[in-house]
Amino acid sequence: MSYRIVPRTPAGERLIAAANGLRDVFRERSEGADRANEICAENYTDMQAAGIMAAFVPEELGGMGLRSIHDWILAIATLAKGDGSAAIAISMHLSATRGLAALYRASEPGSAPHSRVKAVLEAVAARKMLICSTTTERGTDNLHPLTEATATEDGWRLNGTKYFVTMSSLATHVATNVRMRDSDGDHIANVFMAMNTEGVHQQGDWDALGMRASGSQSVKFENCLVPHDALRKIGPWGQWSTPVLVNRTLANVPLVGAFLGMAETAFEFAVDGQAKDPKATNRSGVHHALAEMEIFLATSQSILAHLGVQLDDFMAETEGGAKATYAQGHELMKDYQSAKWVVNRHAIDIVSQAMDLSGGGGFMAGNPLSQLYRDVRAGPFMQPYSPIDAREYMGRVLLGDLPDA
């Protein structure tokens, strides 16, 4: 089929094999979870048992030792062939654990930071920790978080509300960004904390058109106390910085893989359905529609695979992003926005054409295509940048006018 993407590393091969083993059972559960508007807990138990949750955990700590962004993208695409909600949810957990694994490798063995991160990664490998992550807030953007950390003698007090906190009802911990002010200025800081911290309130308000089984409810932080060392500065508040550009790109690119996977599933439904219909070859437009879907799919597979390789090379050349320049950070973000636009738009078109070919049955709630159609519509809204703002940003970077905010 089209441009088939294959894993680049041994760890990636193990991860993709595990994902392939769960695809069919995820698909069987998908409709029920979608109708109930509830996250499917069994999917996450299965992913823990298969080792997927610990993909980025170093092998010496019990994980797969994955480092390839390319293979991460492919794993999410594979899982999304069964259930898009589970795919995007687990990608956010993997984003958090990838960052923690990088801190583990960068810190001095035996130091306090190294020991703390090691304990977290070992808990993930032991199936005792599941991490949700979010940056979204109402009325602002990723560079201007309104959730605020206030310094006290005992630690930091957190107050604010985060939206679209995917998988939060199952998570044991949450990673998010807050506004932090100290003697050095105004910062964006990352905080990692237990979901059972006093003052963390799950709102149970998720009710959307698609991705209904993602559990992306709001979470309110009300005077939550976390230790002094729970916060880590990542950049100035209200401004792009190289670490923020790199980390936001790495966290979001694999999510695009989920929409590729859903498009691949819709294409398979379309081809199989027409192949079983003896009258299909005589229907005007069938061949043209299938060919166009194939072209859209091949284009999406090609651009996402290329971006995955590019990101792997970037991580190797810049020591995991530590030596990246500000211009390189924006170039990465631009390329992500380009891939996101192409893949999401083609995914919507592919699912829509698959519905057209299936006739009125594709419009019925029990048809998998109707759920895929609703789910792929979530793609363009994945942050940072809305579909309207993304092209403005890309044009500025192409002309060397690098945005500060």
| CATH number of residue 204's parent domain | 2.40.110.10
Is residue 405 included in any domain, yes or no? no
Q: What is the pLDDT of residues 297-346, one digit of tens each?
A: 999 999 999 999 999 999 999 999 999 999 999 999 999 999 999 999 99
Q: Over the chain, what is the mean pLDDT?
A: 94
Is residue 17 included in any domain, yes or no? yes
| CATH number of residue 23's parent domain | 1.10.540.10
pTM: 0.95
77 and 57 in one domain?
yes
Is residue 185 included in any domain, yes or no? yes
The contacts found for 25-29 with CB under 8 angstroms, 24 or more apart, are 25/82, 26/79, 26/82, 26/83, 26/86, 27/81, 27/82, 27/83, 27/265, 27/368, 29/83
Query: What residues make up the domain containing 297?
Result: 242-398
Q: Residue 55 has what pLDDT? A: 98
- CB of 107 closer than 8 Å to CB of 114: yes
pLDDT band at 279 (very low <50, low <70, confident <90, very high): confident
Is residue 325 included in any domain, yes or no? yes
Average pLDDT in the 48-59 region?
Answer: 98
pLDDT band at 378 (very low <50, low <70, confident <90, very high): very high
Domain limit, last residue, from 129, 145, 176 = 129
Q: Residue 197 has what pLDDT? A: 97
Q: How large a percentage of the chain has pLDDT more than 70? A: 99
pLDDT band at 276 (very low <50, low <70, confident <90, very high): confident
SS3 content of the chain, % helix, strand, coil (to 5): 55, 15, 30
| Sign of the CA dihedral running 376, 378, 382, 388 | positive
Is residue 1 included in any domain, yes or no? no
Is residue 5 included in any domain, yes or no? no
Q: What is the pLDDT of residues 386-398, one digit of tens each?
A: 888 899 999 999 9
Domain limit, last residue, from 205, 236, 267 = 236
| CATH number of residue 249's parent domain | 1.20.140.10
188 and 75 in one domain?
no
259 and 393 in one domain?
yes
120 and 149 in one domain?
no
Bridge partners (DSSP) of residue 225 are 157
Average pLDDT in the 45-54 region?
Answer: 98
The domain tally of the chain equals 3
3-state secondary structure of 150: strand
- CB of 297 closer than 8 Å to CB of 2: yes
Is residue 3 included in any domain, yes or no? no
Q: What is the pLDDT of residues 138-191, one digit of tens each?
A: 999 989 999 999 999 999 999 999 999 999 999 999 999 999 999 999 999 999
Is residue 57 included in any domain, yes or no? yes
Q: What is the pLDDT of residues 232-254, one digit of tens each?
A: 999 999 999 999 999 999 999 99
Average pLDDT in the 275-290 region?
Answer: 81
Question: What is d(CA 131, CA 123) in angstroms, rounded to the nearest whole number?
Answer: 11
The DSSP annotation for 204-250 comes to: -----SS-GGG--EEEEEEEEEE-GGGEEEEEETTS--HHHHHHHHH
